[in-house]
Structure 1
Amino acid sequence: MEFTQRYVALGDSFSEGVGDWNAECPNGVRGWADRVAEQLILADPSWGYANLAIRGRKMRQILTEQVDAALKLQPTLVTIYAGANDILRPSIDLDALMAEYDAGIARLRGSGAAVVLFTGFDSVKSAVFGKTRGRTAIYNELVREIADRHDAEIADYWRMREFQNWDYWDVDRMHMATAGHTLMAARVLEVLKSAHSIEVPELDTRPARSRLAQIKDDAVWAREYLAPWVGRRLRRQSSGDTLTAKYPQLVQPVWKPATRSAV
């Protein structure tokens, strides 16, 4: 099928859709980008969609592996979020990295595609990732400069204060859950000024938890999610090492009702 409008999503686990588990989807996840694509296709059947994002990818991997592949698809719209996995590393030359990001965005915009960039999430309420808050704030300012320089749009994750509610997050506390991905899809479509029929789910009010219960929950989380995550980084491994892109070519997927995949 010949598509006159072509949306390509680039990035890491955020754009791949990790946390929005659905065994019917490639890689076992759906995600906000799939939901954006669905709305674009519903409004205009001339849209095709590709998603090249793979969990665990760092910025240089995204620029090397995904930008050329995206350009071959002749995109009219690109969304890209890169750098989150770099920010979490012990040491990073952020200025050098963002100079490379600038060059990558210049190539995407030079193709004529509209480009949507993301600022980083404000981790102020995270006991673990809050330590990188200052680094993320610098990253965000550099992203804003890149967007201004190349006339790109920004989905301002940092200022989406709704995401400070941890009910939008998966049990691993690192990725958005289905509710979070649904909300993000609506926010991205608003940036694109595209009408949509997405209904953001209302969150249940959590009962107050005792300090002891919270400590027990934190211990379980540290054992089941944080420790394996740290271990992979020490071994220089990634959860995406054995995965390929969900939709490497332009398609119009049929999204089925969610069934949670094994994690």
Structure 2
Amino acid sequence: MTIDQQETWSGNTPGQRHPWHRFVALGDSYTEGIGDLEPRSIGGYRGWADRAAEELAIGQHDFAYANLAVRGMVLQEIIDTQLEAAMALKPDLVAMSGGGNDIVFRRGDPDKLAGKMDQAVGELTETGATVMLFAAPDWGGTPVLGQVRGRLAIYNEHLHTIGMHHQALMVDLWCLPALRDARMWDRDRLHLSPLGHHIVAVAALDALAVPHSLKPLQPRPVPAHGWTQARAEDLIWARRYFFPWVLQRLLPHGGEALAPKRPLPGPVFGVGHGDAGSHDAA
């Protein structure tokens, strides 16, 4: 379904709030749900895609959801291991993200990455599925990661062009003010917190124009602290989280490859449906 088709869909089918029945998500840790620990969810992480699927499943008795995303993957790995598998599942709604690990950890060329993404999105849209793309958030205020801000911005502009070319839907995280709040990020500052995943789920559902029950959360305020403490925390963060993560991304992978948490489409029962405010606002 193209953007034009989505805009003209009447939604008059009894019991249906949207036209999609099979949702497949592709990507890396962002889409896998890292940072949103939830033992009751398949794979132990919930994430924005699970949260969005929970809402999409309401009123769709035959709705099914698969998540092929695997943490740490660069764009070429996502294309090589997830693209064909996703199309074989015959989805009518696809979330496609990737390239952030290339730019942040591999100094990837945003122009070359855009060429790969353009081809992948073209293959997905040719199946007739609605495709969602995600512009990266603005990490300009984060130490170290702020240095890649320019390349991320260029890549985002490419993604907007790709989206228009293939009539894909864009979820623009760069322009999402809520993600500038430190509480939307995990302690490692690389992954979304439960609050952040919730906000992205809201943005994705809004982009799809699907009625939903998710509301912007109002987390408790974090106590203010001075400049000296903030700089000390930056150093601790870099030593404890950023540099070890960089080494993991740059060193050859050893041992068994990670498997996607939901390789086959299945029903969604909504682990946190109805209690998002109490569960996430801690």
- Per the normalisation by structure 2, the TM-score is 0.85
Higher relative contact order (CA 8 A, sep 6+): 1
* Distance of 1:216 and 1:84 partners within structure 2: 27
Matches within 5 A, 1:13-52: 13-52=29-68
For 1:152, the equivalent position in structure 2 comes to 168
Matches within 5 A, 1:17-166: 17-166=33-182
Paired residue secondary structure (1:148): helix
8 Å CA contact 1:25–1:255 kept in 2: the answer is: no
**1:252 to 2:267 alignment:** yes
Q: Which runs of 5+ in 2 are unaligned?
A: 1-19
* Distance of 1:219 and 1:93 partners within structure 2: 28
8 Å CA contact 1:11–1:54 kept in 2: the answer is: yes
* Distance of 2:116 and 2:94 partners within structure 1: 17
- Per the normalisation by structure 1, the TM-score is 0.91
Paired residue secondary structure (1:155): strand
For 1:198, the equivalent position in structure 2 comes to 214
For 2:199, the equivalent position in structure 1 comes to 183
Displaced runs of 4 or more, over 3 A: 253-258
Determine what percentage of the aligned residue pairs are the same residue: 37
* Distance of 1:131 and 1:9 partners within structure 2: 29
**More displaced 10-residue stretch of structure 1: 220-229 or 127-136:** 220-229
**More displaced 10-residue stretch of structure 1: 10-19 or 200-209:** 200-209
8 Å CA contact 2:36–2:194 kept in 1: the answer is: yes
Paired residue secondary structure (1:158): coil
- The alpha-carbon distance between structure 1 residues 132 and 75, as it changes in their structure 2 partners (threshold 3 A), is same
Q: Please give the root-mean-square deviation of Cα atoms over the aligned residues, in Å.
A: 2.0
Aligned-pair CA distance for 1:128: 1.3
8 Å CA contact 2:106–2:250 kept in 1: the answer is: no
Q: Which runs of 5+ in 1 are unaligned?
A: none
8 Å CA contact 1:6–1:47 kept in 2: the answer is: yes
For 2:25, the equivalent position in structure 1 comes to 9
8 Å CA contact 2:110–2:152 kept in 1: the answer is: no
